[in-house]
Amino acid sequence: MQKITDLQPAEVWTLFHEILSVPRTSKKEEKIIAYIEEFARKHDLPCKKDRVGNLLISKPATKGLGDRKGIILQSHLDMVGEKQAGVDHDFDSDPVNAYIEEEWVKARGTTLGADDGIGVAASLAILASGAIRHGPLECLFTVDEESGMTGALGLQPGFLEGSVLLNLDSEDEGEIFIGCAGGVDTVGRLKFKRKRAKRNGQAFRIHVGGLRGGHSGDEIHMGLGNALKILNRFLWNADRRFKISLALLEGGKARNAIPREAGAVITLPAGNSELVRVYFESFEKIMKQEMEAIEPEFHMTMEAAPLPEFVMRKKHQRRLFNALYACPHGVIAMSQEIPGMVETSTNLASIRHTGDDTLEIYTSQRSSVESAKRDIADRMASLFSLLGAEVRHSEGYPGWKPDRRSQVLNVAEKTYRELFQQEPEVKAIHAGLECGLFLQKYPGLDMISFGPTIKGAHTPEERLHIGSVEKFWKFLLALLEAAPRVE
């Protein structure tokens, strides 16, 4: 059986394999930070850390390339930790169990962390090499990209010296990105009243699963199923037919992932239990018909559960079901400037109970138009206010406006064309990149973003295309050697 460390380029895959063994979910990057710091000590390279945990390793230019503009290779250290139901994996301590299947590297039942572990590995491989030619080089490793970009938000002016930044966090080889959407999170915190559940009732646990999930930026336009929206649709209808009471409603995990699974515990009068089962089977059949083309593995289950002690009061329950039914999810507007690109979207990401009488509803909004981003976030705030919830917004991050006149873009296009005898696609992306925040702190930066092909990011279906890593590596090395000269 072929091992990951046998793949080419060996120096990149070997380091990626090491990174897979280091826990590094968002906001828990202590071990990967220590790994990077030790790497710098081992290779006698200067490394500095800022107040939020970002790391910067510097390396002088190789002989003959000292006249080139300083290049910053940037990648983020954290990963999204998602796993399939029933998978025994602790992201705080267990290594990612990766394997090779045909043309892909995958993980068994969990996210792989190629987003952005492969970018980190490529940067480290360049730092470790004595043979790769490059001008003045800095490698920036940011923290907490996936759950709020707090690393990029906390980056201070003066930390970086280079004038050209290569973001290694895009997920389609052969595409060069020169713009991205900005984003913000809107969270509703609902305090609700409870009452004792009737002891002559019956309880059921409802579960929605088998959905693909997906990145709420890259894949929001695909019409993928949202487990929370589907579950609430069932609950909204069942409430009106069978007088159900809600004891628990949870689902989704990551702010930037479309929720794959959701569950609820309900009670109802014992005499209605068979009627609910019949309706449940009918509802599941309808949903399978609606989504069979895009979500072939979708399923729902309904099973008896222990009777809970408390349930939500009817007034709050009705408000919650109505709000979630009305809550927008998906594409809000398409770009008028770039054909086929999503301009504005919103994602109903997760619902969590944070206390016996409190739950939080997490949503994320994206747009390449700042005013439109603010507008959809305000719409979400308005909806949560009608629900009676407290509303808070994250600090958010700005978009990155495309610049077709970019010098490094022109060099990159020429380099790619000469290497592979084909034109790269130059695009903007609806997903969020840290580039907009870098540009706020360093207005003179010239930036592009690229990477190997990653599919299913932020889900247990995440996979990294093996052949694309070799092309990405060749392109990166050629681009370093072709870096623009200081004028």
Placement of tokens 């995990």 in the chain:
253
Catalytic residue check, 303? no
Residue with the larger pLDDT of the pair 335 and 71:
71
The reported pLDDT for the residue numbered 252 is: 95
Q: pLDDT per residue over 178-190, tens digit each? A: 999 999 999 999 9
β-sheet bridge partners, residue 49: 55
Q: Which of 87, 72, 81 is nearest to 20 (CA)?
A: 81
The reported pLDDT for the residue numbered 19 is: 98
* List of residues 6+ apart from 56 with CB closer than 8 A: 47, 48, 49, 50, 138, 139, 140, 141, 159, 160
Residue 214 has pLDDT above 90, yes or no: no
247, two tokens = 């004891």
Range(s) within the chain of domains with CATH label 3.30.70.360: 184-393
The reported pLDDT for the residue numbered 172 is: 94
* Share above pLDDT 70 across residues of the chain, in percent, rounded to a whole number: 100
- Give CA separation, 20 vs 15, 138, 149, in Å: 9, 23, 21
Catalytic residue check, 461? no
Placement of tokens 């109802």 in the chain:
268
Q: Can you tell me the mean pLDDT for 281-309?
A: 97
Residue 216 has pLDDT above 80, yes or no: yes
* List of residues 6+ apart from 207 with CB closer than 8 A: 261, 262, 263, 300, 301, 302
Q: Can you tell me the mean pLDDT for 34-63?
A: 98
Q: Can you tell me the mean pLDDT for 43-53?
A: 97
Q: Which CATH number fits domain 4-180+399-481: 3.30.230.70, 3.30.565.10, 3.90.930.12, 3.40.630.10?
A: 3.40.630.10
The reported pLDDT for the residue numbered 367 is: 94
The reported pLDDT for the residue numbered 183 is: 92
Q: How does residue 70 score in pLDDT terms, banded at 50, 70 and 90?
A: very high
Residue 2 has pLDDT above 90, yes or no: no
Q: pLDDT per residue over 222-249, tens digit each? A: 999 999 999 999 999 999 999 899 999 9
Q: In this predicted structure, which of 27-31, 277-281, 455-459 has the lowest mean pLDDT?
A: 455-459
Placement of tokens 């619902």 in the chain:
351
350, two tokens = 């997760």
Residue 145 has pLDDT above 90, yes or no: yes
* Domain 184-393 listed as CATH 3.40.190.10: no
The reported pLDDT for the residue numbered 420 is: 97
Length of the chain: 487
Catalytic residue among 82, 115, 145, 173: 145
- Annotate 192-203 with b (16+ C-beta within 10 A) or e (fewer): beeeebeeebbb
Q: Can you tell me the mean pLDDT for 474-479?
A: 98
Q: Which of 457, 262, 267, 239 is nearest to 352 (CA)?
A: 262
Residue 148 has pLDDT above 90, yes or no: no
State how far the Cα of 306 lies from the Cα of 317, in Å rounded to an integer.
20
Range(s) within the chain of domains with CATH label 3.40.630.10: 4-180+399-481
Q: pLDDT per residue over 348-374, tens digit each? A: 999 999 999 999 999 999 998 899 999
154, two tokens = 């906390």
Residue 322 has pLDDT above 80, yes or no: yes
Q: pLDDT per residue over 406-435, tens digit each? A: 999 999 999 999 999 999 999 988 988 899
412, two tokens = 């990159």
Q: Can you tell me the mean pLDDT for 115-133?
A: 97
The reported pLDDT for the residue numbered 270 is: 85
Catalytic residue among 78, 171, 173, 250: 78
The reported pLDDT for the residue numbered 190 is: 97
* List of residues 6+ apart from 30 with CB closer than 8 A: none
Q: Can you tell me the mean pLDDT for 159-178?
A: 96
Output the 3-class SS for the chain: CCCHHHCCCHHHHHHHHHHCCCCCECCCCHHHHHHHHHHHHHCCCCEEECCCCCEEEEECCCCCCCCECCEEEEEECCECCCECCCCCCCCCCCCCCEEEECCEEEECCECCCHHHHHHHHHHHHHHHCCCCCCCCEEEEEECCCCCCCHHHHHCCCCCCCCCEEEECCCCCCCEEEEEECEEEEEEEEEECCEEECCCCEEEEEEEEECCCCCECCCCHHHCCCCHHHHHHHHHHHHHHHHCCEEEEEEECCCCCECCCCEEEEEEEEHHHHHHHHHHHHHHHHHHHHHHCCCCCCCEEEEEEECCCCEEECHHHHHHHHHHHHHCCCEEEEECCCCCCCEEEEEEEEEEEEEECCEEEEEEEEEECCHHHHHHHHHHHHHHHHHHCCEEEECCCECCECCCCCCHHHHHHHHHHHHHHCCCCEEEEECCCCCHHHHHHHCCCCEEEECCCCEECCCCCCCEEEHHHHHHHHHHHHHHHHCCCECC
Q: Which of 77, 85, 147 is nearest to 113 (CA)?
A: 77
* Share above pLDDT 90 across residues of the chain, in percent, rounded to a whole number: 89
Amino acid (1-letter code) at residue 186 = T
Q: pLDDT per residue over 323-355, tens digit each? A: 999 999 999 999 887 788 899 999 999 999 999
